[in-house]
Structure 1
Amino acid sequence: MSLEMNKIAAAGLTAGVVAMLSGFVADLLVHPRHLEKAAFPIEVASTEAPAQAAAKPAGVEPVLPLLAKADPANGEKLTRACQACHTFEKGGPNKVGPNLYGVVVGPMGHKADFSYSDAMMKHHEAGDTWTYENLNHFIHGPREWMSGTKMTYGGMKKVADRADVIAYLRQNADSPIPLPTQEEIDKVTAKSAAAEQAAPAAAAGGGEQQAAASGGQSPEQMIAAGDADKGAKVARVCQACHDFTKGGPNKIGPNLWGVVGGPVAHKDDFNYSDAFKKLHEAGDTWTYDRLWGFLHDPRGHVPGTKMTFAGLKQDDKVADLVAWLREQSDSPVPLKQ
């Protein structure tokens, strides 16, 4: 009898451990508790998406010229992380995200039995489809390309990787669509070149608009005016990966007590990415400006970071969050008013 009870107890303990680890992995990939913003393209920025194909950000390399020689086998490998949220086989179930069989050139919001974001449904109602280039831009940066999507995935920045993934997705269909013609390739290449030439002027204008929107304030001034109580609420989504208490444990990410003003990669007992280790060796610290840039765009600010979170796009939320982080310290770093 005692042996049987031991077996039952062991089984229960094992099931609990597996459930716990599954939860941690799910949080790492999709941060499902973040309701505002699930790990791959196709269904994380504050305006509603337009009822037409979203405007493509300048600087995203076109994928059409690479598709003919793309490697679907490598694309399948690259989508393994996405399997936490998606299935790819015909008739496969929806998970956190929809099944993606037949997605290429299919309608946006193609699964009638899946609950899409309002942003995605506006594209569906407008008749928008997942063309090669629409997929390319969405995979590159889901939330940048479709404001309001539920996707928390930060995006795939290498155009060759995106081409391989799209080549794999193309094969997952009853009748794979034709590869782009040379005329189509020439057209998108010319359009991309024109966008690159216009980018410097657009960037200058954007900087003026941002300065006007923030009243010409610096990040530190906006943080000084931030609301730490609101920042504590913003930080809740981060608690899946970080602890903020003094002496608290590292989790998927390091404990962040005392991070403001501290050295980059400040925890000796955490295994940081090589990118962070280089910054640490260079003596870099978490100044208000560096935190501002990193929280807006982790991968853009520190290429090679392990962070999967795509970033906070609203200045006020970043200001509130840093204002709260500043208080999680024995000696908060002074702010310029």
Structure 2
Amino acid sequence: MSNWEATRLVTARELKVKIRDKTFLISTGFLLVFAILGTVVPSLIGGGATSVAVVTGAATEQLTAAGLEVREVADAAEAERLVRDGDVDSALVGGVVLALDDEPGDVVSALSVSPEVRLLDPDAINPGLAFLVPYLFAMVFFFTSLMFGLQIAQSVTEEKQTRIVEILVSSVPPRVLLAGKVLAGALLAFGQIGLLALVAIAGLRLSGSEQDNGVSLLNLLAPAIAWFLPFFVVGFVLLAAMWAVAGALVSRQEDINSVSTPVQLAVMLPFFGTIFLSDNKPAMTIMSYIPFSAPIAMPVRLFTGDAAGWEPFASLGVLALAAAGMLVIAARLYEGSLLRTNGKTSLGAAWRSSEKLSV
């Protein structure tokens, strides 16, 4: 059996185990619920379009064009009654807007004469989106890398602790085990994010909140999301290899945290850096070429329009080279520490042990 066939078998095994795992299913369900709540519930809480009662023919077209729900009535008395009974939010009677206890700003705006507006920077990003998009990219990459990476480390340590790894190594090389675990983790993470994105898009469409000043948010986000996907996959492979090594360095689940601090920092620092420095163009430019922060920083720069056309290709190339180099180093450390079950293994000891095995 070739190494590729063995990798496929290991990957299939890991996928079957994780898909049946209750923790994975619960976390996926939680993320989907979060996506639904974040896209659909705000529009439901808002109660939809404001309803306004008007006497037949009075400013009906003007109010309807503003997106308000217009209800035509026969006279002013009926309009006032509907407001008092709570059947409509407001009413227009003789040029006067009636409301029960709060001024209906959207109705007043619809009836007001707006001055001509000339935008000096029509392509500027909405300030709310400029804050929200970096946060979302950072949060998705942070939680996914942390959650799935920790699962990879725990899986490796569990196999060492139960001695299952000795049986596995007798059938396939350690490097094949590493490749299968990393590939399975990447597929699961990518699948979960893809499902989350589909639910979020469906929620935006159902809630009618996918428009920002008449422009589709999906169209605004599409280029950044399209680049985020390959950056996410390659960046996850880089971190997954590090998590696998962290799991191989210890023999007990309780010791994972003590050896995984560098990996956790590699996940956490880009998260907080993107959130706090998203409006700092020089800092974001530097971060987009650092392998650990590039999966977040470069898509954010593409969304804000701060990146030249060649930059995402260069950044992804740097990230891919870093991931390939990390896989080579991780394979050696993984091979040198996987069968050592006498407590924690240092990086130096794992490296030297791998040298002896290769000899």
Q: Which is richer in helix? A: 2
Task: Give the TM-score of the pair, scaled to structure 1.
Answer: 0.20
Q: Which is richer in strand? A: 2
Task: Give the TM-score of the pair, scaled to structure 2.
Answer: 0.20
